[in-house]
């Protein structure tokens, strides 16, 4: 960091579970074709099991520089 203005970039990376599913069971994280095994019920979108992604709270930038 330097005195004055600094630019900070934050990348938030998740998985494709919210896009591709499975939306009907409690699996978390990585989604793949095998996660659809045993899904026999098609719930309404409001009942989907989705994962929150994003920057959930403010962060603080600190430096050990004098």
Residue spans of alpha helices (H) in 1-66:
17-20
Q: Is residue 21 part of a domain?
A: yes
CA dist 36 to 21, 32, 58, 59, Å? 8, 8, 36, 36
- Tell whether omega for the bond before 22 is within 30 degrees of 0, i.e. cis: yes
On the CB side of 22, how many CA atoms lie within 13 Å of its CA? 17
| pLDDT given at position 44 | 79
Of 24 and 62, more confident: 62
Q: Is residue 66 part of a domain?
A: no
The first and second tokens of residue 57, run together, are: 């709270």
Domain of 18?
Answer: 1-59
pLDDT digits (tens, 9 = 90+) for 17-60: 777 777 776 666 667 777 777 777 777 778 888 888 888 888 88
Q: Is residue 64 part of a domain?
A: no
Q: Is residue 53 part of a domain?
A: yes
Of how many residues is the chain composed? 66
Q: Is residue 65 part of a domain?
A: no
- Domains of the chain: total: 1
């Amino acid at each position: 960091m330097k005195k004055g203005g600094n630019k900070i970039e934050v990348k938030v990376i998740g998985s494709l579970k919210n896009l591709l599913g499975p939306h009907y069971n409690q699996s978390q994280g990585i989604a793949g074709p095998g996660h659809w095994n045993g899904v026999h019920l098609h719930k309404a979108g409001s009942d989907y099991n989705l994962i929150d992604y994003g920057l959930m709270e403010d962060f603080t930038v600190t430096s050990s520089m004098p």
